Structure 1
Amino acid sequence: MSDIKAVTQTHIITADCPSRPGTVDVVTRFLFKQGFYINEIHSFVDTDENHFFIRVEFRADTETEFNRESFCEQFEQRASEFEMQWQLASSPYKSKVVIMVSKHDHCLNDLLYRYRTGDLNIEIPAIISNHPDLEELAKWHGIPYYHLPITKETKPEQEAKVYQIIQDCGADLVILARYMQVLSSEMSKKLSGKAINIHHSLLPGFKGARPYFQAYDRGIKLVGATAHYVSDDLDEGPIISQCVETVDHSYYPQDLAAKGRDIECLTLSRAVRCHIEHRIFLHGNKTVVFAK
């Protein structure tokens, strides 16, 4: 007889609705009456907007098979009384992720390491790039690599091919892991809430060529990175995660760049983890993030 104990299936409810008394009870009392055990719970009320958010991870207290259809039907009857919009996810939570990249490989390498070791519970059906440089890295991981060059004239055609790959893969998420191209307005709208971008956040801000050299010339003391959902406004989408670290006079441009790469990797992986674990609510131009 096997000594391996079966892993109990877990489930996640995420929901939001206008704030009113009883919103937490809608979820927790229902789960209690159904015989479920709550592993983790987060809730938040935006008092300015009078809007309520909740995320609950739960499991069955018995080995009874989970009847998803019955659960959803019964919960909807309760949730509809509160105008609650909700989603249910069940383990294993393995999101399909398409990664887009140009020549800088640090974020891609970090994501591939976390994917390979199981730190990020994802599948990567495709890597898309406008350059051929990182194809061998993709091949080493056994991941299809699509080299799709782009120019101003071919942008619509190239983006159509990119979007077709995303659809064919059934991707839940697109990660722009230092993809050094601005997505068109049409593409940004298609990927709304499903594409995460990463960029440096030097303080004060420096744009254009050689930002770390500009930062060095100004003697900056903070280096950071921002991960956000893609929007029609360049680098202005809803922020998911930000990290910052102090630097000093001893950091030359190459040191600042190295520090920046490390922070970008960490910030991006945190944002991806929050997304695939259903910890993010889009809330207008902002996000509500129930980080673990």
Structure 2
Amino acid sequence: MNERDLNYFCSLVETGNYTATAKQFQVTQPAISAALKRLEAHYQTTLLTQANHRAQLITTTAGQVLYIKARHLLKTFAQVDLEVRHADEQQVRLGFSHIAGGIWLPKVVTTFARHHLLNAITTTVGMSEELLAQLRHHQLDAAIFSSLQPMQSADLQVFPLETHPLCILANVQQPLSQLKMVQAADLQQLPIIARLPHSLPRTALEHYCRRSNVRPNIIYEAHSNQLVEKLVARNLGVGFVISDSVSLSPNVVQVPLKPSQAIDCYMQLAVRKSFLPNGKQAQSIDLLKQIQPTD
């Protein structure tokens, strides 16, 4: 039994056809048949049956068991291959969510430059869910991401970094800017510059309004916090963003949410539990854990 034979077998199960499998791997049909015979000899059982040479292949019960296990093994083989190839590299692959990147990247760049490690890191910026998927698929070594709840994971080590409250952005000409704190009812009928659906600030806004039975009057969906701030500066509406995630114009202020209705954004560092970092990778991850909010 070898990885190649398992790949051929899984394709046979999925296509039900020798010709399609041979074409997929650019080998001859006899090579595919030989691989199946080796597997059946190894396990001393029939894995696939065929009524005649033109019929679709039928997977036996034993074949179904092998297929499920083989798919898991092949995924593990691919991950091992990536890990081994990356083990001696001097690069550390870091991922940042859009929000975490805006807040944390300047701190990371400054800290790594101070320790002469800036040339050792490569960075990726994306959605938190995408970064965690890349981390699980061994395409990243660590990810700094944002969420509305502290994350718990069976396969990832997650370290808390910072907590940032969500807040209202208001133009100084907007009466809301004079309040010491805002409650959801204050947003009733006010024009709101919201982030795009499924973004963290948008999800937080919807949750904030829903639990107080307030229907947000969203007049525009902005692709970034920076655009939200610029539109608030033009007094087109109020914004709902993460505190400290954007530089403010002189005529824009942050107004905190009422404590009983407050929503927090959690910045967290995630690393695979199975990850065995080399010296430079371990040093870089330790630096990420040690960066302070004031750095």
Q: Normalising TM by the smaller chain, what interval?
A: under 0.3
TM-score with structure 2 setting the length = 0.24
Higher strand share: 1
TM-score with structure 1 setting the length = 0.24
Higher helix share: 2
Q: State which structure, 1 or 2, has the greater radius of gyration over its C-alpha atoms.
A: 2
